Structure 1
Amino acid sequence: MNRNPPPERDFDEAEAYPLMEQTVLDTIAGLPDFPGFKSRMYYSPEDCEESLGEQYQGWVSLEIAYTFDGPNSESDLVRTTYTDLLRDQWTAAGYEVHQDSIDASTGRGSLEAERADGINLWWTVSGSVSFAVQTGCIPATEGFDKPDYIPPAGGVIPENDAAVQNRMNPPEDAAGEATDPFASASESPSDN
């Protein structure tokens, strides 16, 4: 993220959220027998000026994270098979795999790749397994507070959706709905 001057970006803060959620859908579509995530969290936007200097005034960095439950995090399917598949998937897609610290003996570590559009994908295998999508620094959207509701990917139920509880506008029906983890990746989050 330490770039001077700020990088050219094709999307801003408001446009990033649907793009990030579609990235999650596209990623899990390539994982066989996907068991579903347990939870989703949107982190508060990070002010890039504070961390990188005044040339980043008006820029923010966003992150969303999905986590598997305990039993699925311990399964060989999620810990090992998915890690290997994602490594292959991201390499084949031409992403820059800039971190692969998965320890062969323990299966713990992280796999991290950046797409050409600057979206960073971060698969972490520790006590639990999580998948984060990060934007790096992007232009903030003037007057933007929170994104409109986007259903969570991978079967997250409303009670486990911290994003809808604190970092996005509530759904119109106020009940929310989980996205079918087996739905086609070609569907956009707003289609579900």
Structure 2
Amino acid sequence: MDQDPPPERDFDEAAAYPLMEQAVLDTIAGLPDFPGFKTRTYYSPEDCEEALGEQYKGWVSLEIAYTFDGPDSESELVRTTYTDLLREQWTAAGYDLHQDSIDSATGRGSLEAKRQDGINLWWAVSGSVSLAVQTGCIPATEGFDKPDYLPPAGGVLPENDQAAQNRMNPPEDSTGEVIDPFASGSASPSVD
């Protein structure tokens, strides 16, 4: 996040969340026998002006993270096979694989790749394994508080969806009434 002047970006804060969720869906689509994530977290937006100076006034940085549970994080499939597949997938997609610190002896470390649109994908392998999606600095959306509900990728259960619990607006039905996104029979909006 140390660019001066701010980078050209094709999306702002409000448009970023669906793009980030789609990046997760696209990433896991190429992973065989996907066991599902345990948790989803949306972090509070970071004020880029505070971090980088006044040239970033009105800019924020966003991050979402999906984490596997303990047993899946320890599995050979997630720790090794997925790491190798993501390295290949991101390279084949033309992403800038700017971090590859996976230790061949321990399997710990991380992969980071930046897409052409500036979204950064971060695969971290330590005690647990997680996939984070980061925007870098993007223009803040005036009057924007938090995104409308987006369903989690990869099988996150309602009780483990920290994003839906505190960082999203709940969905509304056609009458404008707020609905419980996890109640049976509720229609979940899709990420296009």
TM-score scaled to structure 2, two decimals? 0.92
2: distance between equivalents of 1:189 and 1:161?
A: 16
Aligned pairs for 1:43-192 (under 5 A) are 43-172=43-172, 173-176=179-182, 189-190=190-191
TM-aligned CA deviation for residue 174 of structure 1? 1.1
Q: Matched residue of 1:82: which SS?
A: helix
Asked if the contact 2:21–2:191 (Cα under 8 Å) also holds between the matched residues in 1, the reply is no
- Structure 1 runs not aligned, ≥5 long: 178-187
Q: Give the Cα–Cα distance (whole angstroms) in 1 for the partners of residues 132 and 78 of structure 2.
A: 15
Give the SS at the match of 1:40. Answer: strand
1:62-81 deviation line (CA, Å, top 9, x unaligned):
00000000010000000000
Residue in 1 aligned with 2:33?
33
Alpha-carbon displacement from aligned partner over 1:116-167 (angstroms, at most 9, x marks no partner):
1100000000000000000000000000001000000000011000001111
Max Rg structure: 2
Q: Is 1:12–1:139's contact at 8 Å kept on the other side of the alignment?
A: yes
1:28-78 per-position Cα deviation (integer Å, ceiling 9, x unaligned): 000000000000000000000000000000000000000000010000000
What do you get for the CA RMSD once the two structures are aligned? 1.2
Contact 2:46 2:60 in 1 (8 A): yes
Moved more, 163-172 or 82-91: 163-172
Letter in 2 for 1:9: R
Give the superposition deviation at 1:189: 3.3
Paired with 1:80 and 1:17, the residues of 2 have a C-alpha distance of 29
Give, in whole Å, the separation in 2 of the partners of 1:108 and 1:92: 23
Query: Where has structure 1 moved over 6 Å in runs of 4 or more?
Result: none
Counterpart of 1:135, as a letter, is: T
CA contact (8 A) 2:39 2:68 kept: yes
CA distance in 2, matches of 1:171, 1:157: 17
Q: Which amino acid aligns with 1:72?
A: D
1:12 counterpart residue number: 12
Q: State whether residues 9 and 117 of structure 2, in contact with CA within 8 Å, keep that contact through their aligned partners in structure 1.
A: yes
Q: How far, CA to CA, are the matches of 2:190 and 2:124 in structure 1?
A: 24
The 8 Å contact of residues 151 and 176 in structure 1, kept in 2 or not, is answered as no
- Identity over aligned residues, as a percent? 82
